[in-house]
Structure 1
Amino acid sequence: MPTESPVNILLVDDKPENLVALEAILGDLEANLVKSTSGEEALRCLLQTDFAVILLDVQMPQMDGFEVATLIRRRPRSQDTPIIFLTAFSSSEQFMFKGYALGAVDYLIKPIAPNVLLSKIAIFIDLFKKTQALRQKTEILQRQTTQLEAINTELQTSEERFRLLSACSPVGVFVTDTRGCCIYTNPRFQAICPEVEGAASDQIWLNSVHPEDAETARSTWAAYLESGQEYAQEFRCHAQDDTTRWASIRSARMVSEQKTFLGHVGTVEDITERKRAEAAKAQVIREQAARQEAETANRMKDDFIAILSHELRTPLNSILGWASLLQSRHLDPRKIDYAISTIERNAQAQKQLIEDILDVSQIVRGKLQLHRQPLDLVAIAQTALETVKPAAVAKRIAVTTNFHDYTRLEVVGDTLRLQQVVWNLLTNAIKFTPEQGRIDVALSVTAEWPKGQRPPKSACQGDSPAPAYALLSVADTGLGIDAGFLPHIFDRFRQADSSITRSQGGLGLGLAIVHHLVEQHQGCVWAESAGLNQGATFTVALPLSPSGAAGLQPPAPPPAEQPHLRQAPHPAPQKALEGMPILIVEDDTDTRDFLTFLLESQGAAVTTAASGEEGLHLIGSMQPAIVLCDISMPDMDGYRLIQTVRTQMPEPQAHIPAIALTAHARLSDRAEALASGFQSHLPKPIDAEVLIRTILQVTGL
């Protein structure tokens, strides 16, 4: 059988022009001409390729043609490859005999007649093709002979193998004819499905099925015989010891190679132990799920308590600190205004935290009461926008509104609670939107209940649907919401990332309160976000009252903003920390300002950092006498900062005294702070005298 691909011819000559000449002569042979300019290169070509003939120049530098031929003949794969020597320098018989002695088939003197070379090469190409064809036929005959021997061996042993498999199989086997009547069963089948006295012998395993499963078994088996699809069912069966056991029955059609239907073959397996194990495993999984759910709930509550402690103590630190300084009567009159403003702002923040906690407590106990009356949703939205306007201006956030020129959208509900809903959504948007971001507030009307949203639990089954629904949406360009956390965004005691709470403040209860209040008004609220750093949109749907819309009331004038004065603190008469360089690392601005004023009033030279990364940089570039460091900070907390200082900084920064100032006041928090490398731990709110005394004690002054 001739080969379909072109044969290979190896041309070896150190002169490129000679190779070009040979290529021109042999170009019409439809052969693959492989050119080599040295003996070494020719030998590398022979490693992977078989050649019909080799044209080998005798006179070559480094390794001549005779040496190359010697090496070619040593390889079993190329020892029979025809070699034609080509030379232009010697026609002596001695060289010709040497060439023929090395197995050459010819010895040609240059210049070579093209027709002579072509005729010789053509002979070797034809011989190579015939040899390859003969080799292929031989290989095919050998494979066929081997296959026939294997088939004969298999035929001789197949009967014995089948007998052994059938007798020793741990699975019951049955065979039926084309009508489904049983014609063969193995011993294991007979053990799992014993014969029932008086029952038809051709009903195979159906006779042993438990009476409660018999009807299902017969109907499914009949459907299988009709459809011909693969059968797989599990039933209870009566065993030989009169116990009830579980059996798995599988069956499929038997079809010959000629596509002739021969019957059915099936298996019966005792799966009683597996069923018992599955039942036990299911019980364990239920118990584990219940335990994990309880542990998760406890952990969420513990996390919430820790956050609650932090959020309550942080404003207390500024309130009590500035109150103590006011009582000392050493403040500049302008600084008194700043102190009072700080105390009021932090007291308001603490008041809001306490109100959220009380609201959640009422929600949990079902005691939250609503005072329902007709009200204008447009006016409520305008009032909430004016309330949060100063916070948006402070962060240079652009707030746009689109109320579609509605003069009035009347709903029935509690004015204060709906204001709380809108205020919470706007406050959340401002909190999680970076500076120079954007918030879009829109009001619209829809005639249908929002698709994909479930009716509120508080709605009565007999309530008729509202004629229309008002939609209030608050969209921001803020941090966004991870897709995995989006379904839990309104859950109580659950937060996506505590570091976000640390950087933005709050307990994370606002959205849970919003969800409950909206449902109490027979509405719904949902959140949408493309992912982290992609912003978020919260939408509230509330039923409009049947009376429709009235006039839009103009929004109230914005409250006057109170400027925050920031003056240099007046030093106290007694300067216990005169000239001491102190670094404060604190992400809360009010706490940082209070500590700066307090320590500078005692003569200290204070440097502040608003984050752990910034504090670490300052420690590396300056030499403070002591570091006062908050624990709960975003990105890098106080534990990590002080551990980095102790383990990665050179002397003398590695042994700078450090005091942990934190709202985490448990004994375990104190132990963790000391273990991390702090010399002392002071819980917030900070007492001024205790702080100064501790600084003096830690620094050894």
Structure 2
Amino acid sequence: MEDVITLLLVDDEARNLDALEAILDEPGYRLIRADNADRALHELLANDIAAIVLDIKMPGVSGFELARLIKGMKRFRQIPILFLTAYLLEDEDVLAGYGAGAVDYLTKPIKPAILRHKIGVFADLFRKTRALAQLNDTLEERVKERTSELEASEEALRHANTALRAADLQKDQFIATLAHELRNPLAPLRTGLDLLVQSPDAHISSASRTINAMNRQLDHMVRLIDDLLDVSRISRGLIELLREPVAVSNIIDHALDAARPFLEKRKQRVAVAGPVAIQVHADPTRVAQIVGNLLHNASKFSPPDTEIRVEIATDANDLIMRVIDAGVGIAPEDVSRIFDMFASVGHSSVSGSSGLGIGLALARRLAELHGGSLTAVSEGKGAGSTFTLTMKSAVLQAASELPGDGDSARTPNGHRKLAIVVIEDNEDAAETLVMWLEAMGHQVQLARDGLEGVDLVRTSQPQLVLCDVGLPGIDGVEVCRRVKALVALTQPVMVALTGWGMDADRRRTREAGFDHHLVKPVAPEKLRDILAAVTT
């Protein structure tokens, strides 16, 4: 539907106004009458007028004078005025009319078609002008909105750039710290090897101290690399929890084993309180990793010769474990950041090493994979810290109530002599492993490939088989399958040795029939646990 526009008709005679209304009576027009200048000015102020039809000869204020008044006002300056006259005008009068603001003249009697045509032109111009103004308003509003969006985008971009610069700086700091953390243990390893090579006849106590120092540094490197690999696996969603019933005491024992080198070096003690015999449903390796990381963190940020407390509690079926230290504490503004990956909260450890900043982040992610949480509280710098691990609906029952729960299987000095077959193609790895097992009093036979290994197992019938997975000929997985297929054989305990430690790798060896999966370099305490658990 066409927009209705308003026309102002000004004439001092009513019959002339009636005639004009009759001619211009169309749906697209709204007609307003005025019989004098005052009335005309009033209607102009009250309405949005598109065009004026104005009689020149009026008593009082003439059409020329009214036109000058109208054009003198900025608001009405663009309104077209069509003069009506019953007289023939001289050129001077026409020019005076144009000077007053007229855009055209019509003489009476008016020809309707001409009037309607001229007014139609004015109406069309008015509509287009109004539409253009509305479009301009819309464009201005859109420009304002777009400007606001651009300002917001620029602000977001500034924040993103700031975050990117911070991330880039954090990356540089991480790489520098990683290089430092890797070089630190390499130095004593290299020095120790040189010392052993140059002094093959060194006193046993001196060689033992050297080897112990090298072993501690090797443990540190393995822990560092394992943490980095776990971070990568979690970020890619490749961690699969292997839940099973396990006593909290076993979890704490394994966590203490992992943290013991740091604790002993700094002469720190760990006091455990609470119902440690509680049985929980969890991945024992991963929960021990969480607690071990917390103990390592507490050791690193606590003074030497201090006590770290581990408190065990339950809330219905929820397990709550707290690791409490009296160390350097955490500033209030840093508590929310300490679980961020590669975070550095502005102070070094008491031992002088800030570390990579991945231990706590990894511990929290492992807790969340269990459906639990890991939080930290501190009264501030110098006030120590408390880390709380909560595992929802994890508690089963006290370990003492479960069948088969007796003395610990870990008997480092009391295990019996075992018949063991080692299947390993790496000469150095095989030699050192055989020497280590023989030093513990076991009878050990060595095979260099998979086929030889299967034959050796069939003929010697060992109680334990330590088998490398990446063997030439047939791999360790196939070796295990063939050993399990030996019907006449009393099945040995099968232990997979491999450099691959992802959950998919563990699942593959488990499905092949392996009883244990050890990642190289094998931690001696883990192998001792397996040896102690094997009965003859």
TM-score (norm 1): 0.37
Q: TM-score, normalised by structure 2?
A: 0.47
